Amino acid sequence: MKTIELLGKEVRLNPGVGIFITMNPGYAGRSNLPDNLKQLFREMAMITPNKSLIAEVQLFSRGFATAERLGGRIVSLFDLCLDQLSQQPHYDFGLRSLRAVLTTAGNMKKDTANSEESKGQAAKQQSAEEIAKAEEDLLVGSICNTLVPKLVAEDKPLLRSLLSGVFPGQDLVVMEERELEE
């Protein structure tokens, strides 16, 4: 086996091992790999992920019956936020933030179901419209819990407007600071 020196230590190389790196230099806080290291790797391109499909699958896997409709709408909202809200260094309307909103919505759905079970409430039959409204309420609630606390004050009215455009009839339900302290 061949050996190399790595950080002052002799390391044996296993020919069956590959080393891979992923780079996203356009992402906030990231830097480019130096050219001398780039030359040691083979480049390959990747396509942009299909956020709508990812959102749908995430919602379906968390029990949302209306995942197909909600997935496209939440992605539209994130795209609008990226385009229209002010540019702040702490804002993230990418896939990581989208997944955080979807995970929170799934947890809220599970908590709601567990709460109803613990209260001994029988699962009542709901119409498709009632299910759609309840799931939309959960998703908007997740947006409020996840995104709104990160927004600067000037962007909250604009988010409210964007939200009402993407989810008609919905409004931001922002907890008052007193409620958060309790």
Q: Tens digits of per-residue pLDDT, 36-49?
A: 988 888 888 888 89
What average pLDDT does the segment 19-38 reach? 77
- Higher pLDDT among residues 24 and 135, named by residue: 135
pLDDT of residue 173: 64
Q: Is the pLDDT of residue 68 over 60?
A: yes
Least confident of 2-11, 63-72, 172-181: 172-181
Question: Which amino acid is residue 120, in one-letter code?
Answer: G
pLDDT of residue 182: 44
pLDDT of residue 181: 44
Q: Tens digits of per-residue pLDDT, 83-139?
A: 999 999 899 999 999 999 999 999 999 988 877 766 666 556 788 888 889 999 999
Second CATH level (architecture) for the domain 51-181: Orthogonal Bundle (1.10)
Evaluate the CA torsion angle 87, 89, 90, 91 in order and state its sign: positive
What average pLDDT does the segment 41-70 reach? 92
pLDDT of residue 44: 83
What average pLDDT does the segment 59-68 reach? 95
The structural domains of the chain, with segments of one domain joined by +, span 51-181
pLDDT of residue 85: 93
Angle at 145 between CA 139 and CA 151, to 5 degrees: 115
CA nearest to 175, candidates 154, 156, 149, 153: 149
CB 66 within 8 A of CB 132: yes
CA dist., res. 158 & res. 165, Å (int) = 11
User: pLDDT > 90: what percent of the chain?
Assistant: 47
Q: Is the pLDDT of residue 26 over 70?
A: no
Percentages (nearest 5) of helix, strand, coil residues in the chain:
55, 5, 40
- Looking from the CA of 5 toward its CB, the CA atoms found within 13 Å total 1
